[in-house]
């Protein structure tokens, strides 16, 4: 059964959503991140994806105190990403209670360092963030598109033992137009054993069901939840 993984994106310790990663298209929500995390936990959900958007912008961990507050207030398994660029950043994230960390741009731009994290912390603690535009890897907050195929990128890391792959189709993110089913289907067909987490565009319960039928491990629920397109109660069949 697919894992429901709500997302909390942080700027200045507040919960926000961006459209296609654009800081100029920001929506700020009234509830505090801790309040939202408690609501998510009360619905029976076990996992939470937290993104430090300030960290992504400034290339260092910034919102770790908010991560720590969420972990102290709930029993959610939190994965944390955004701006993790050094051993110190990653250690702070784990010390503040992150169950896993997600590395995206760093896995492209500083592969030796990212490989060290896999060896040091273990592949079960590391999620590979594959941000994609037209099947090519995008980096630096999606502002740059590399010449690296998403399939080659994933293949190179699963050979090091990574199984958790977090894939966001940049073209879908924040638009509430449905996820990139064809991309996820191609990835699953090529790498049937990975634990693929689909992100970007998940808008309805039928989107979640289609991803579930495809054998996708997890679905990130972001803007659709905050804007009432999906109610957590509607997802109870996926929540054990």
Beta strands 195-199 and 218-221, pairing class: parallel
Q: How far apart, in whole angstroms, are the C-alpha atoms of residue 214 and residue 230? A: 20
Q: Residues with catalytic annotation?
A: 9, 131
The number of angstroms, rounded, from the C-alpha of 142 to the middle of its chain's C-alpha atoms is 14
Q: Please choose, from the candidates 229, 237, 226, 227, the residue with its C-alpha nearest in 3D space to the C-alpha of residue 40.
A: 226
Two tokens, residue 88: 């110190």
C-alpha span between 5 and 35 (Å, rounded): 16
| SS3 of residue 26 by DSSP | strand
């Amino acid at each position: 059964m697919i894992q429901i993984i709500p997302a909390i994106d942080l700027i200045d310790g507040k919960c926000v959503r961006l459209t296609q990663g654009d800081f100029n298209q920001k929506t700020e929500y009234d509830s505090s991140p801790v309040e939202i995390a408690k609501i998510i936990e009360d619905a029976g959900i076990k996992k939470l994806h937290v993104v430090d958007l300030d960290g992504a912008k400034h290339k260092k961990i910034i919102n770790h105190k908010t991560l720590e507050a969420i972990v102290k207030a709930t029993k959610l398994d939190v994965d944390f990403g955004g701006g993790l660029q050094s051993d110190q950043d990653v250690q702070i994230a784990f010390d503040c209670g992150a169950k896993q960390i997600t590395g995206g741009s760093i896995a492209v731009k500083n592969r030796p360092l990212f490989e060290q994290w896999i060896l040091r912390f273990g592949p079960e603690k590391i999620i590979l963030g594959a941000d994609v535009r037209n099947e090519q890897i995008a980096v630096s907050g999606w502002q740059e598109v590399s010449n690296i195929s998403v399939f080659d990128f994933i293949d190179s890391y699963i050979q090091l033992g990574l199984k958790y792959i977090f894939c966001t189709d940049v073209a879908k993110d924040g638009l509430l137009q449905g996820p990139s089913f064809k991309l996820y289907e191609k990835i699953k067909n090529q790498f049937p054993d990975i634990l693929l987490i689909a992100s970007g565009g998940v808008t309805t319960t039928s989107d979640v069901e289609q991803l579930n039928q495809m054998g996708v491990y997890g679905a990130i629920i972001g803007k659709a939840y905050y804007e009432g397109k999906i109610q957590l109660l509607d997802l109870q069949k996926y929540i054990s």
